[in-house]
Amino acid sequence: MNRLLITAASVLMSASAAWADGFSGAWTVRASPDEMSASESQNTFEDGLLFRDGSLSSAAFAMLGFAPTEYKLCTEGMRETMTATFTSEDRGTLTYKIIRMTSGLTGRLIWTKPDGTSSSYTLDGERYVEDEPMQEIQDSDS
């Protein structure tokens, strides 16, 4: 009986944790360099972030060798924040701090390179939504 209660409790806790993660899924993000980084020839770029099962991956940085990493959630009232750190021996460290808002997400990305220099970006994003007309075309071909 105790095992059943423990199993049921762990299933409920897992389900509620997954439900509470408002980041879960795919997001399109625009990363804009701050004034100092822009003066150092850093450019605005588009990225795709995927939050899945407590792991975060970045399409732009995966091409540079940054593997998916764990992210941590913090909820204060209705405000949900996320932090994650990616590390690469030859490319440095990426630190994401993101706030989920009803209209999307906003946050900061700091890229610290192995030589100690860093670039800082402001992040703005929204949930990725597949193009519905394209989906209809694909469905009609089946």
CA 130, CA 126: separation in Å to the nearest integer?
12
CA 85, CA 124: separation in Å to the nearest integer?
18
CATH code of the domain covering residue 103: 2.40.128
For residue 60, CA distances in Å to 10, 13, 55, 92, 102 come to 35, 33, 16, 15, 25
Q: What percent of the chain has pLDDT over 70?
A: 77
Q: Phi/psi class of residue 12: alpha, beta or left (left: φ > 0; alpha: ψ in -120 to 50)?
A: alpha
**pTM greater than the 0.85 cutoff:** no
Q: Is residue 10 part of a domain?
A: no
Residue length, the chain?
Answer: 142
Q: Which residue has the higher pLDDT, 21 or 57?
A: 57
Q: How far apart are the first and last CA of the chain?
A: 49
Q: Is residue 52 part of a domain?
A: yes
Express each pLDDT in 19-32 by its tens digit: 458 899 999 999 99
- Per-residue confidence (pLDDT) for residue 61, from 0 to 100: 96
Exposed/middle/buried for residue 28 (C-beta within 10 Å: 0-12, 13-18, 19+): middle
Counted domains in the chain: 1
Q: Is residue 136 part of a domain?
A: no
Q: Is residue 35 part of a domain?
A: yes
Token pair 């049921």 in the structure block, residue: 8
